[in-house]
Amino acid sequence: MVGLMHTKKGVGLAAPQIGIPLRFFVTDVPGDKPRMFINPEIIAKTENKTVFEEGCLSLPGINKDVKRPEGIIIKAFDIKNREFTLECRGLLARCTQHEYDHLDGILFIDKAGNND
């Protein structure tokens, strides 16, 4: 999946986006390493939120402003079935939330414009 994500010039890709009905996604944002999140759960979010333009490999050419928490803490399993907890900030937090939404059938356009 990381290879496909790189081919499409993305920074994240969720299994449901490519027809895999499982709860996992991958990320590879600048300044971080490629990561896999299996059965993730967001366990905390910052109160501070920021608006940032997002796009999606599922909707090429469409970009919208989306308001999201600036930081999150996520718990998941890695490829070796080891549980981990990760505090995410900046682009990693945004990407992780975006991909997590895909696991619940939510697209960024569903959240666009809700920036109050």
Residues with a catalytic annotation lie at 99
User: Which H/E stretch holds residue 101?
Assistant: helix 90-103
**85 contacts 43 by C-beta, under 8 angstroms:** yes
Give backbone dihedrals phi and psi of 55, rounded to 5 degrees, phi first: -130, 180
Q: Tokens for 39?
A: 């059965």
Structure-block tokens of residue 44: 């905390």
